[in-house]
Chains A and B, each alone.
Chain A
Amino acid sequence: MFIGVSVSSAAVEFGGIITGDTVWTNDDVVIVRDSLVVDSTGHLTIQPGTTVLFELMTPVFIYGRLTAVGNEAAPIVFTTIADTVGGTPTSSTFWYGLSFQEGSDGEMEHCRVAYTLTCIDINMCSLEFHHCTVENFLGFGFYIDGMFEIPPIEVVIDGCVIRQTDPDLLDDGRGIYVFRSVNIGISHTRIRDCNIGIQLYSYNAYNPRFNIFRTEIASHWTDGLYLNGSG
Chain B
Amino acid sequence: MPTGSVRQCNIIENGEYALELVGQSEIEVEIDATDNWWGIADSSLIESLVYHHNDITYYPPVYYVPFAYGPFDIDDTTAVDVGEPDDDVLPNRFALDQNYPNPFNPSTNINFRLPTASFVDLSVYNILGRKIMTLAGGMYRAGNYTITWDGCDEAGCAVAGGVYFYRLRAGGADLSRKMLLLK
Residues of A within 8 A of B23 (CB): 227-230
A56 to B: closest C-beta gap in Å:
8
Residues of A within 8 A of B19 (CB): 223-227
Query: Are the CB atoms of A226 and B20 closer together than 8 Å?
Result: yes
Query: Are the CB atoms of A229 and B2 closer together than 8 Å?
Result: yes
> Which residue of chain B is the closest to A91 with respect to CB atoms?
B129
Q: Chain B contact residues: over half helix, strand or loop, or mixed?
A: strand
Query: Are the CB atoms of A229 and B25 closer together than 8 Å?
Result: yes
A202 to B4, CA, bound (A): 11
- The reply on B147 being an interface residue by CB < 8 A is no
Query: Are the CB atoms of B24 and A223 closer together than 8 Å?
Result: no
By size class, the interface of chain A is 35 or more
Residues of B within 8 A of A231 (CB): 24-25
Residues of A within 8 A of B11 (CB): 197, 216-218, 224-225
Interface members, chain A 91-105 (any B CB < 8 Å): 91-92, 96
Query: Are the CB atoms of A204 and B17 closer together than 8 Å?
Result: no
Query: Are the CB atoms of A140 and B178 closer together than 8 Å?
Result: yes
Query: Are the CB atoms of A219 and B13 closer together than 8 Å?
Result: yes
Query: Are the CB atoms of B20 and A223 closer together than 8 Å?
Result: yes
- The reply on A24 being an interface residue by CB < 8 A is no
A143 to B: closest C-beta gap in Å:
7
- The reply on B122 being an interface residue by CB < 8 A is no
- The reply on A57 being an interface residue by CB < 8 A is yes
Residues of A within 8 A of B5 (CB): 210-213
Query: Are the CB atoms of B17 and A209 closer together than 8 Å?
Result: no
A174 to B163, CA, bound (A): 16
A143 to B127, CA, bound (A): 15
A195 to B165, CA, bound (A): 15
Interface members, chain A 143-177 (any B CB < 8 Å): 143, 171
Residues of A within 8 A of B127 (CB): 57, 96, 117
Query: Are the CB atoms of A227 and B1 closer together than 8 Å?
Result: no
Residues of A within 8 A of B18 (CB): 217, 223-225
Query: Are the CB atoms of A222 and B29 closer together than 8 Å?
Result: no
A103 to B2, CA, bound (A): 24
Instruction: Report B's interface with A, CB cutoff 8 A.
Output: 1-27, 29, 98, 127-129, 163, 165, 175-176, 178
A-B contact pairs, 15 of them (CB 8 A): A118-B178, A139-B165, A197-B11, A204-B25, A211-B5, A212-B6, A213-B7, A217-B9, A217-B11, A219-B12, A223-B19, A224-B11, A224-B12, A225-B11, A227-B20
Instruction: Report A's interface with B, CB cutoff 8 A.
Output: 57, 91-92, 96, 117-118, 138-140, 143, 171, 179, 195, 197, 200-202, 204, 207-231
**Interface contacts beyond A197-B11, A204-B24, A217-B14: sample of 15 additional A-B pairs, CB < 8 Å, sorted by A:** A202-B2, A202-B27, A207-B3, A210-B2, A211-B4, A212-B4, A212-B6, A216-B12, A220-B14, A222-B17, A223-B15, A227-B4, A227-B19, A228-B23, A229-B22
